[in-house]
Chains A and B, each alone.
Chain A
Amino acid sequence: MKVIEVHNLTKTFGSFTAVDHVSFEVAEGEIFGFLGANGAGKTTVIRMLCGLLAPTSGKGSVVGYDVSKKAEDVKKNIGYMSQKFSLYEDLSPVENMELFGGIYGMNRKQINKKTEEIIKDLGLTKERRSLVGSLPLGIRQKVAFAVSTFHSPKVVFLDEPTAGVDPMSRRIFWEMIYRASDRGTTFFVTTHYMDEAEYCNRISIMVDGSIKVLDTPERLKNNFGAGTMDEVFQILAGKSKNQVQ
Chain B
Amino acid sequence: MKALKFLLKKEFLQILRNRFLLAIIVLIPVFELAVLPWAATFEQKNISLCIVDGDHSSYSRRLIEKILSSGYFKLTSHEPDYDHALRRIETGHANLILIIPPAFEKDYVNRQPLKMMLVIDAVDGQKAGLGMSYLSQIILAYNTQIEVEAGNRTGAFINIKPHYRYNDAMRYQNYMVPGILVILVTMMGGMLSALNIVREKEIGTIEQMNVTPVSKSMFILGKLIPFWLLGLINLTIGIFIGWLIYGLFPVGNILNIYLFAFFYLLAFTGFGLMISNFAQTQQQAMLVLIFFLIIFILLSGLFTPISSMPEWAQRVTIFNPVRYFVEIVRLVYMKGSGIHDILPQLYRIFGFIVVFNFLAIVSYRKTQG
Contact = CB atoms under 8 A, between A and B. Distances in A.
A104 B204 contact: no
Interface in B15-34: 17-18
Contacts of A147: 208
Nearest to A77: B213
Interface residues of A, number: 32
Given A52-B211, A90-B17, A84 B204 contact: yes
Interface string A48-64: 00111110000000000
A229 interface: no
Contacts, number: 85
A103 B6 contact: yes
A50 B18 contact: no
B3 interface: yes
B213 A104 contact: yes
Contacts of A51: 210-211, 366-367
Interface residues of B, number: 28
B208 A86 contact: yes
A95 B10 contact: yes
Interface in A126-152: 131, 147
A193 interface: no
A30 interface: no
A45 to B, nearest CB: 14
Interface in B191-247: 203-215
Contacts of A91: 10, 13-14
A88 B10 contact: yes
A123 interface: no
A52 B210 CA distance: 7
A233 interface: no
Contacts of A100: 208, 212
Contacts of A102: 2-3, 5-7
A205 to B, nearest CB: 25
Interface of A: 50-54, 71-73, 75-76, 78, 80, 82, 84, 86-91, 95, 98-105, 107, 131, 147
21 contacts: A51-B210, A52-B210, A54-B367, A72-B213, A72-B215, A73-B213, A82-B204, A82-B207, A84-B204, A86-B208, A88-B10, A99-B6, A101-B6, A102-B2, A102-B6, A103-B213, A103-B214, A104-B212, A105-B3, A131-B17, A147-B208
